[in-house]
Chain A
Amino acid sequence: MDQLLQALVSGLLLGGFYAVMVLGFSVIWGVMGVINLAHGEFLMIGAYMAWGLFRLFGMDPFASLVLILPLMFLVGYLLQIVLINRIVERPHLMTLLVTFGVSIALANLFKLQFTSDPRNVAVAYNGSVQLAGVTFPIVKTIIFGAAMLIMVCLHFFLQRTRLGKSIRAAAQNKTAARIVGVDINRVYAITAGICIALTAAAGAMLSPTQAIFPFMGPPFTLKAVTITALGGLGRIPGALMGGMVLGVTEIFVSTYVPGIGTNLGVATSFVLLVLILVVRPQGLMGGLRPLDAEAE
């Protein structure tokens, strides 16, 4: 019973992180129909930035978000203007190939700069508290709280502000949005900026809990796809739900499969992904964007 409760709590905490990790991926896909295969690499960049700031200035990974968010917004904005906006209206395979190329290039760029040695961010509060017989790791609990906060902020941004409304308009109907005067390219660039900043923020928050190395990205990209298939595109509640499902599944596998369970996270999400896509190609909750939307 205790083990079950512990696994559930750990899974939900992990799920909170997954939910914020997937937001950038799922919003980019939902708004512009681009499957960003370099998603994990931006997470990796965020983690490296947190590591660098921690090492140079002793800056706390959560405090360093203040610097990382605007910087990575700029990176995403520029990437979108220079590269992705040129091909966003072309067939999906093209954006897939380009982001694949970007991911290989980024991972190897970081390998050159920082070698492939794993890096750690050792924060002082790396302990855990006991509450009603269940262990809460402090860092993961903070991540969970921050993830919820970010999701609420993003939700209100998308629902209430003018910019958020134009982003949603561009996602729903590009042509109509253009007609009513939304500058699509600018909206896309801002969306990419926000999404990549969020992804990097997730990476920075992750940095105290996991080793950082240049090739850490692809598993996260795969998990992002799985969660998106679980929860639907660009929906914050969907991302939360999908993240929780994946997190709990992963922790259960690692708890109840003896010996090798802890390393099967990636394989679990892969099996989950193929199952969902084969059984329900439109995604578990429906609403995976039909990929021919633009062709019609």
Chain B
Amino acid sequence: MGTGTPANKSEERAQRKPSLPFLAPVHSLLAGWIGLVLWLLLLLLLALYPYTGVSSVALFVGSQIFVLVTLASNWNLIGGMTGYVDFGHAVFFGIGAYIMGILVTGAPLLISPEWGFWQALPASGVAAALFALLVGLPTLRLKGPYFSIAMLGTLVAMREIARVLRPFTGGGVGLNLPPILNRLGDYYLMLAVMGLVVSLIWWIQRSQFGQSLIAIREDEIGAEMRGINTTLHKIAAFMIAAFFTGIVGGFWAWQNTYIDPDVVFVEARTVEMVMMSMLGGLGTVWGPPLGAVVIYYLQDLLWANLYDRHLLALGVLLVAIVLFMPEGILGTLGDRSSTSLGRLLSRVGRSK
């Protein structure tokens, strides 16, 4: 804002008045300590939830929602805050899932004894973060749409590679993980991961690191001029986002007990992440979690009524959100910090 760049049409559009301005003070309160306190309170309530004697189905639903919230928040860190719209983020999910699968089954690498869940889970995250470093070094130098396409390419390429590396990944047949049912444990694990990730995003947003990321999004050359090491910041954000996505992927593989290239390296999961973040409000702390919950129930509704048509509906929904609600729920409700999609869009559009 006020950087002296010639305002183009989309920037003017982004600067229009929020539709419900009286809500703005509420939103700015939520972005601060009060937001965190409310969030921790919510976490506490969620932690007590299993004691109300709920069914294991409810616990399963809970852990699924926590997974989505974590994924959305992670995507938001690189896509919303840093402004690098990642169309292939599901690749880290897939890497995490495969590392979990390979380590736990042990068979492909002839690891003996096989690793336990608790050893394999951090390994999933670390592997995904290392992969992010490897991929990010070249791709994060690309701007705007080129980055998006290169990441989409990473996803498609990794799917083929997972299919080819039969000795390690089981190829198209996939891997079967030992089925161990522990709904309560799953629930608390994902609750903890989600709590950690969202709190981390809250902290990042307030920290100098987060402000540097936002500066990169708004004007990368300007940020570089101010002395921000843009490469380091971008890679760090990318690796953090990849780490937790990998953790979630590993957990998902464990919970699902079966993985193959078409199940984990799938574009639809990226679409989900993008949609949840966009629906809630890109670049905000509370938008993506909100979007994730809304999308989960929306999908549940679609799944119940349209059964196998829900992916079709997902694609149509993405088009509809872009056309009619590009600023997300929080943006539409007047949160000033979340009108960033308009600005993000114009930044991506302007990139050199």
Contacts and interface: CB of A to CB of B under 8 A. Distances in A.
Contact of A292 (B160, B345, B351): B351
A37 interface: yes
8 contacts: A83-B319, A93-B145, A98-B323, A100-B267, A101-B271, A112-B308, A112-B309, A296-B6
Given A102-B319, A108-B312, A274-B139, A292 B153 contact: no
A93 B282 CA distance: 13
A248 B9 CA distance: 44
B156 A222 contact: yes
Interface in B1-33: 6, 8-10
Contacts of A269: 153
Interface SS of B by simple majority: helix
A296 B350 CA distance: 9
From B145, B150, B345, B346, residue with most partner A Cβ within 10 Å: B145
Contact of B164 (A37, A104, A260, A292): A260
Contact of B144 (A97, A219, A291): A291
Please give me the 7 A-B residue pairs with the lowest Cβ-Cβ distance, nearest first: A105-B315, A91-B349, A101-B318, A104-B315, A91-B345, A270-B157, A101-B319
A96 interface: yes
A187 B274 CA distance: 32
Interface size class on chain B is 35 or more
Given A278-B138, A292-B349, A108 B157 contact: no
A97 B267 CA distance: 12
A225 B9 contact: no
Interface in A247-296: 260, 263-267, 269-271, 273-274, 277-278, 281, 290-292, 294-296
Interface of B: 6, 8-10, 85, 87, 138-139, 141-146, 148-150, 152-154, 156-157, 160-161, 163-165, 262, 267-268, 271, 274, 278, 308-309, 311-312, 314-319, 322-323, 326, 344-346, 348-352
A93 B348 contact: yes
A231 B347 CA distance: 26
Contact of A100 (B141, B318, B323, B348): B318
A183 interface: no
A50 B312 CA distance: 23
Contacts of B161: 264, 267
Interface string A77-99: 00000010011011111101110
A101 B156 contact: no
Contacts of B316: 101, 105
A166 interface: no
Contacts of B317: 101
B10 A264 contact: no
Contacts of B352: 290-292
A137 interface: no
Contact of B322 (A35, A101, A111, A281): A101
A284 B249 CA distance: 37
A109 interface: yes
B156 A92 contact: no
A100 B89 CA distance: 14
Interface string A123-158: 000000000000000000000000000000000000
A97 B322 contact: yes
B350 A264 contact: no
A264 B146 contact: no
Given A105-B314, A218-B156, A292-B349, 15 more contacts: A35-B149, A91-B346, A93-B345, A98-B319, A100-B87, A101-B316, A101-B322, A105-B319, A263-B163, A263-B164, A266-B160, A267-B161, A281-B143, A295-B8, A295-B346
Given A90-B10, A100-B318, A222-B156, A112 B348 contact: no
Contacts of B345: 90-91, 93-94
A89 B164 contact: no
A26 interface: no
A171 B262 CA distance: 38
Contacts of A35: 145, 149
A292 B349 CA distance: 6
A98 to B, nearest CB: 5
A266 B143 CA distance: 22
A103 interface: yes
B171 to A, nearest CB: 10
